[in-house]
Amino acid sequence: MLRGGPSSTGGDNKGPFLAPDVAVVGAGPVGLAIAWRCAARGLRVVVHDPAPGSGAAYVAAGMLAPVAEAYFGEHELTALLTASAARWPAFAAELADASGADLGYRADGTLLVGLTADDLAEARRLWAYQQGLGLPVAALRPSELREREPALAPRVRGGALAATDHQVDPRRLVPALRTAAERAGVTLVAGAVRSLSDVAADVTVVAAGCGAAALTGLPVRPVKGQVLRLRAPGGAAPGFRHVIRGYADGEHVYLVPRADGEVVVGATVEERTDTTVSAGAVLRLLRAAVDLVPELSEYDLVETLAGLRPGTPDNAPILGPLPGRPDVLAAAGHHRHGIVLTPITADLITDLIVTGEPGPLLAPFTPDRFGPGTPGAPGAAGGRVSGGTTTKEERWN
Amino acid sequence: MLRGGPSSTGGDNKGPFLAPDVAVVGAGPVGLAIAWRCAARGLRVVVHDPAPGSGAAYVAAGMLAPVAEAYFGEHELTALLTASAARWPAFAAELADASGADLGYRADGTLLVGLTADDLAEARRLWAYQQGLGLPVAALRPSELREREPALAPRVRGGALAATDHQVDPRRLVPALRTAAERAGVTLVAGAVRSLSDVAADVTVVAAGCGAAALTGLPVRPVKGQVLRLRAPGGAAPGFRHVIRGYADGEHVYLVPRADGEVVVGATVEERTDTTVSAGAVLRLLRAAVDLVPELSEYDLVETLAGLRPGTPDNAPILGPLPGRPDVLAAAGHHRHGIVLTPITADLITDLIVTGEPGPLLAPFTPDRFGPGTPGAPGAAGGRVSGGTTTKEERWN
């Protein structure tokens, strides 16, 4: 087991009143999944959070979309997203079994669309990049697009299918993870952690989203996102089953239909730290949504909400020991990708805790990548984390 | 005093435990104002409402706009609106004094605008009608329009000023009326009235909005309206001071700025009985609002809400005794005009109760105008209501 930090107690056979093996700060999906996995490996785990599940996950749409999210210049992140998405079906099945909950996991795939000729040109540029990485993006003829999703507006010029981009409902996921974690023996403490010195455990995992910055000094910043929730009238299911992502007159929008009638429409990406909902953002999201799927005009608007994503300088998560603090592991900065990255984050961090050795997938994401200025021991190499790289197979699987 | 109904007790000097002189069903602005006025005349008044102020007034914008609301073919209604608006300044002053509350009364006037050439043509047709009635609508040159309200979009093609169309905040008005009424001795009973036989009083006033239909059988139907509330960012006042009403690409919209930073954006008019907020309505209202006043895009969207106006077959209120029931007075069906009509409704109904004689202004609005099918005693002429007409002076004053 990974040990050696200042708060280590050094004992392997502790009684029930001693410090836990692992303290997790943050009961979002990442923190809860780590706690669940660690408890399943026999560790005693405490999770600290004043309001479990109230962070970015409460706002998130829950797209599991490594293909649609594969963006120019983010090869290593795309590899991690792809590897984590591949773990989602088994993870979802195991979690549903452990919790008895329906996660709203849905494998209907994602349609990528462009409303105008300009929108389609922009989309095609990205699809070509994604196809160049070997990712499964299949261009559709307009007739194929409409056959798959008749609810699309006749104006929509063209599209493609990312069949392996699925979805889950984060508002079902978090309670399920909590149930599974508690059934595995995890203790939840409803309180805020103001400083790492408040936590007594052999290993502390900081999975506090935007709160990680204050606790660790890591470069995690809030990135505001505004999201709408619509509902099909009369308790019906939405009139479309794919996640639809696209450009509509230059506005990027996604539409995530749930079996229970909900449709999540998102999202803005704003370098702001407030969580107010602005008239302009709602207008742009609704206009793009209705332009792509006209029947949404008749849906109820049941929620407008803004949340703060934990962004990082390179849009990738920060995973692994703080420089000079091998007993403190970051699992933060998941930005737009917290839900899809939950399974792999939990597996990699749990493996690191149990074996003391970081898996090769972690290498591009360790805290020390931000250079000697990274907080902790300046210039420290970051504990036992080696410089391994991911293989091609791991990346695009 | 008007008496003679089945529930009349016939006594003028009743002790405190006897039936009240007047029972008012409904604690919206109309019911509360009637109760306040009656109590001020020495009558003992009880108001029944399970949730005071939660009806149409809670959603309403509070425009006092007889000029802007003057519409083809509604001469008699326009006369009543005009007469009531003329009473508003004194009514507001008296109410502010009696309650100690700020009503948000504002006399900055209303700008009537058209976004496109088509919108302006449509607007001008209505302004010509209003000017033909002698109402104060003054066309403005584009430069005059922008000088008055620099926040208007450069695209706005033209406008006019209705200087006498003012506003009040209904969410301040209702608590103020309640305070004034209670200070005048009115008793509020928090309970629903299911049948007029549940109420024991010499005179019963049905001021129950949409609820009047079930109590009286009068043709009052719900007319759905969806409304948004925005708020200027950072606690600032809105960047415009006039009420702005206009057409924007064929969509009719109003923008009501409050001193406290709120801007009410409304409203749909839908023949529906639900109170869900629809994505399409919010989209249309926001688009029209931002097209007319672009800075609204940066405002917070703090509330989306739908309410039900108490509509009638001729869009005018129903005021006066039920046919064959001189002891039951309707003060209902105020449709889009409940706030502006509050002072005159209270005065006319109170005068009728105290004197037993209906004022001439009531004549066009009595329940028996809907013909022999009107509930109560079929074919009854409607108590002591005479057929007097309004004078020209009363109309356009």
pLDDT in the model for residue B155:
94
CA distance, residue A302 to nearest chain B CA (Å): 7
| pLDDT tens by residue, B76-94 | 999 999 999 999 999 999 9
Instruction: Give the CA radius of gyration of chain A.
Output: 21
Residue A215 and residue B104: Cα distance in Å, rounded? 46
Residues on chain A touching B290 (C-beta within 8 angstroms): 279-280, 283
Q: Which has more pLDDT, B216 or B7?
A: B216
Chain B residues interacting with chain A (CB cutoff of 8 angstroms): 228, 230, 233, 276-280, 282-283, 286-287, 289-290, 296-302, 304
The residue among B262, B265, B287, B297 with the most chain A CBs within 10 A of its CB, best to mutate, is B297
Token pair belonging to A185? 């023996």
pLDDT in the model for residue B389:
33
Residues on chain B touching A264 (C-beta within 8 angstroms): none
Residue A265 and residue A286: Cα distance in Å, rounded? 8
Q: Which residues contact residue B204 at a Cβ distance below 8 angstroms, ignoring those fewer than 6 apart?
A: B5, B7, B22, B23, B24, B25, B196, B327, B328, B329
Average pLDDT for residues B105-115, to the nearest whole number?
97
Q: What spatial distance separates the first Cα and last Cα of chain B, rounded to whole Å? A: 30
CB contact under 8 A, A287 and B289: no
| pLDDT tens by residue, A185-232 | 999 999 999 999 999 999 999 999 999 999 999 999 999 999 999 999
- pLDDT of residue A7 exceeding 90, the answer is no
Backbone torsions φ then ψ of A230, nearest 5 degrees: -105, 170
Residue A224 and residue A310: Cα distance in Å, rounded? 9
Q: How many CB atoms lie within 10 A of CB A14?
A: 14
Q: How many CB atoms lie within 10 A of CB B32?
A: 32
B234 SS3 class: helix
pTM of the shown model: 0.89
For residue B12, what is the DSSP state?
S
- Give B18's pLDDT tier (boundaries 50, 70, 90): confident
Residue B249 and residue B115: Cα distance in Å, rounded? 7
pLDDT in the model for residue B2:
62
B363 SS3 class: helix
A107 SS3 class: coil
Residues on chain B touching A270 (C-beta within 8 angstroms): none
For residue B106, what is the DSSP state?
B
| pLDDT tens by residue, A46-96 | 999 999 989 999 999 999 999 999 999 999 999 999 999 999 999 999 999
| pLDDT tens by residue, B48-74 | 999 998 999 999 999 999 999 999 999
DSSP string of B145-171, one letter each residue? HHHH-TTS-TT--EEEEETT-EE--HH
Which chain A residue shows the shortest CA-CA distance from B229? A279
- pLDDT of residue A345 exceeding 80, the answer is yes
B141 SS3 class: coil
pLDDT in the model for residue B5:
42
Average pLDDT for residues A370-381, to the nearest whole number?
52
pLDDT in the model for residue B373:
53
Residue A183 and residue A200: Cα distance in Å, rounded? 23
CB contact under 8 A, B301 and A290: no
CA distance, residue A263 to nearest chain B CA (Å): 11
- pLDDT of residue A384 exceeding 50, the answer is no
Residues on chain B touching A278 (C-beta within 8 angstroms): 297-301
For B316-346, b/e burial (b = at least 16 CB within 10 A) is bbbbbbbbbbbbbbbbbbbbbbbbbbbbbbb
Q: Which has more pLDDT, A370 or A386?
A: A370
B300: closest CA among B382, B372, B246, B228? B228
| pLDDT tens by residue, A277-293 | 999 999 999 999 999 99
Q: How many CB atoms lie within 10 A of CB B134?
A: 12
pLDDT in the model for residue A375:
58
Partners of residue B5 on adjacent β-strands? none
Residues on chain B touching A298 (C-beta within 8 angstroms): 278-280
For B37-74, b/e burial (b = at least 16 CB within 10 A) is bbbbbebbbbbbbeebbebbbebbbbbbbbbbbbeeee
For B191-225, b/e burial (b = at least 16 CB within 10 A) is eebeebeebebbbbbbbbbbbbbebbebbbbbbbb
Residue B180 and residue B8: Cα distance in Å, rounded? 27
CB contact under 8 A, A286 and B277: no
| pLDDT tens by residue, B237-270 | 999 999 999 999 999 999 999 999 999 999 999 9
- Give A393's pLDDT tier (boundaries 50, 70, 90): very low
CB contact under 8 A, B286 and A282: yes
H/E stretch holding A29 reads helix A29-40
Q: How many CB atoms lie within 10 A of CB B371?
A: 9
Which chain A residue shows the shortest CA-CA distance from B295? A280
CB contact under 8 A, B280 and A298: yes
Average pLDDT for residues B344-371, to the nearest whole number?
95
| pLDDT tens by residue, A249-274 | 999 999 999 999 999 999 999 999 99
pLDDT in the model for residue B375:
58
CA distance, residue B280 to nearest chain A CA (Å): 4
Residue A114 and residue A291: Cα distance in Å, rounded? 11
- Give A385's pLDDT tier (boundaries 50, 70, 90): very low
Token pair belonging to B225? 């309206």
CB contact under 8 A, B300 and A287: no
CB B283 within 8 Å of CB B226:
no
Average pLDDT for residues B285-309, to the nearest whole number?
98
Token pair belonging to A86? 């591949």
- pLDDT of residue B385 exceeding 60, the answer is no
Dihedral angle over CA of B333, B335, B339, B344, nearest 10: -50
CA distance, residue B281 to nearest chain A CA (Å): 8
pLDDT in the model for residue B66:
96
Average pLDDT for residues B340-363, to the nearest whole number?
96
- Establish, for the pair of chains A and B, how many residue pairs have beta carbons separated by less than 8 Å: 69
Chain A residues interacting with chain B (CB cutoff of 8 angstroms): 228, 230, 233, 276-280, 282-283, 286-287, 289-290, 296-302, 304
CA distance, residue B357 to nearest chain A CA (Å): 49
What mean pLDDT is reported for chain B? 91
Here the ipTM equals 0.86
Which chain A residue shows the shortest CA-CA distance from B294? A280
